[in-house]
Amino acid sequence: MNLLNWKQHQRYKGNLHLHTTNSDGRLSPAEAAAWYRRHGYDFVAFTDHNKLTTGNGLADGLLAITGSELAVDNTELGQTYHLVVLGLPSSITYAEPRLMPVQAAIDDLNRRGALVILAHPYWSGLTVADMLPLQGILGIEIYNTSANRDLGKALATVHWDDVLVRGKRWWGVAVDDSHWIDDDAGGGWVMVEADVLAEDAILAALQAGRFYASTGPDINSLDFDGTTLMVTCSPVSVINVIGHTQYGEQWRAEPGKALTEASYRVQGKEKYLRVECIDAQGRTAWSNPIYL
């Protein structure tokens, strides 16, 4: 089973979370679009707070996906849930978002045809008790550049593993959450496998998990034949295959050398497996989980 195979499809680089002067960002939509196009992105999602920013036509060749970021409800630690909403057909606001149950908001957004991603769970202080009851979530931000530049809370893979081992089937995304403050653009992205650069095709690929997240390395292929998981990637120093508890394996390159592939034979008790490819600068690419 080819989980990622770029020979069969096109691959497109995108950022799923960014802000402009339409909310609390420092660049206009046109300036933001131009920046991402100059830096090799194929698509972005404008996710201004409680607003719908239209971005198509602002930079030649750049697809702008409609979106927003909504903050609702109260978490266990008294914060709000931040929801990144993709494919939202029209602008939406809730009269008293702190009083709206998060699941009611997710259900409403799903009914409107939107995909919902749980934003920066480490920065938001989300706990397993906050996340586990949620239904209708596409995935979770496992890396958020702005949260890293803000206070070092970029990485949320432990949050991800906490829900995966309990049966959630959530994809993992890396994003910028760029506000154009403290060099928070260009730090995290997704590489999506799709037939065409169009909003419907990109959203369908995201929903199906046909992508990987990265802050640098490339995952070239990911294959699973039922017994062995095989990955090929750009040159890296470490490859991790991660499952629940003690299941998985790590490969480390010898000094002065690099790894470009690894294979892991399933032991039969894994609940899921995912891959991390880490280069010499500490940058990482994360595959989506294979559910067993």
pLDDT digits (tens, 9 = 90+) for 210-227: 999 999 999 999 999 999
Nearest 5°: the CA angle 40, 42, 173 is 100
**How does the average pLDDT of the chain come out, rounded?**
95
Do 123 and 175 belong to one domain? yes
The CA-based diameter of the chain, rounded to the nearest angstrom, is 58
Do 125 and 191 belong to one domain? yes
Do 151 and 199 belong to one domain? yes
pLDDT at 1: 63
CATH of residue 194: 3.20.20.140
Do 192 and 52 belong to one domain? yes
Do 285 and 249 belong to one domain? yes
Bridge-based pairing of strands 189-194 and 219-224 is unpaired
If one counts the domains in the chain, the total is 2
Output the six-digit token pair for 7. Answer: 């020979």
Taking only the tens place, the pLDDT of each residue in 68-120 is 999 999 999 999 999 999 998 887 878 788 889 999 999 999 999 999 999 99
Q: What's the CA gap between 75 and 73, in Å, rounded?
A: 7
- Residue % of the chain over a pLDDT of 90: 88
Do 40 and 120 belong to one domain? yes
Do 92 and 199 belong to one domain? yes
Do 150 and 255 belong to one domain? no
Do 166 and 285 belong to one domain? no
Assign 7 a pLDDT band (cuts: 50, 70, 90): low
Residue type, 152: G
Do 19 and 129 belong to one domain? yes
CB-facing half-sphere around the CA of 37: CA atoms within 13 A: 16
Which residue range is the domain that position 189 belongs to?
2-214
- Residue % of the chain over a pLDDT of 70: 98
The larger pLDDT score, comparing residue 183 to residue 1, is at: 183
Residues in the chain: 292
Residue type, 181: I
pLDDT at 139: 98
Taking only the tens place, the pLDDT of each residue in 20-70 is 999 999 999 999 999 999 999 999 999 999 888 888 889 899 999 999 999
Answer yes or no: is pLDDT of 6 > 80.
no
Which residues share a beta bridge with 229? Answer: 224, 264
Final residue before a domain boundary, out of 214, 234, 257 = 214
Final residue before a domain boundary, out of 154, 180, 214 = 214
Output the six-digit token pair for 2. Answer: 């080819």
Residue type, 115: L
CATH of residue 261: 2.60.40
Query: Which residue, among 27, 41, 49, has the nearest Cα to 186 in the 3D structure?
Result: 41
Q: What's the CA gap between 199 and 97, in Å, rounded?
A: 28
Do 272 and 164 belong to one domain? no
Do 99 and 228 belong to one domain? no
Final residue before a domain boundary, out of 214, 247, 270 = 214
Nearest 5°: the CA angle 91, 288, 192 is 55
DSSP secondary structure code for residue 99 in this structure: G
